[in-house]
Amino acid sequence: MPSDYNQAVIEKFRANGGEVGGPNRLLLLTTTGAKSGQPRITPVAYSTDGAHLVIIASKGGAPTNPDWYYNLLANPLVTVELGTERFQARATVAEGQERERLYAQHAALMPGFAEYQRKTTRQIPVVLLDRVE
């Protein structure tokens, strides 16, 4: 179940065509639970790189990855809600120099992400979402 906070964000997102206020642009990511098989909806900050949507599995700099990250590793086909649009996307994890470039680009737009990386010893995953036609 989403937290009460996440549930409030999801409801505000859907009621306002994706506008929720605050410093970050959000999308709603629906993953399939790795263990439960149930749909899980999570609001996630995103940036773009060409046609890719870029999301960061930061969990606020916690020592572990967020549950949604494990879900999309197990089931990379996800549903994205962006503004009023809803579509299927395939999630892939960026590696190496691409990961470094995308993380730096994302953190330049949303400086909190630079702080998250400083707070943890794990390498925070960068995920690309590509629309499935």
pLDDT in tens, 54-101: 999 999 999 999 999 999 999 999 999 999 999 999 999 999 999 999
% of residues, the chain, pLDDT over 70: 98
Mean pLDDT across 98-113: 96
Confidence at residue 21, expressed as pLDDT on a 0 to 100 scale: 85
Residue ranges per structural domain of the chain: 4-131
Cα 4 to chain center, whole Å?
Answer: 18
* Closest C-alpha among 21, 39, 19, 20 to residue 29: 39
Mutual angle of helices 112-119 and 96-109, in 10-degree steps: 130
Q: Going by C-beta distance under 8 Å and a sequence separation of 6 or more, which residues neighbour residue 27? A: 18, 43, 44, 46, 53, 55, 80, 81, 82
Tokens coding 39: 């749909």
Confidence at residue 127, expressed as pLDDT on a 0 to 100 scale: 98
Task: For domain 4-131, give its CATH number from 2.30.110.10, 2.70.98.10, 3.40.50.1000, 1.10.1130.10.
Answer: 2.30.110.10
Does pLDDT of 1 surpass 80? no
Does pLDDT of 30 surpass 60? yes
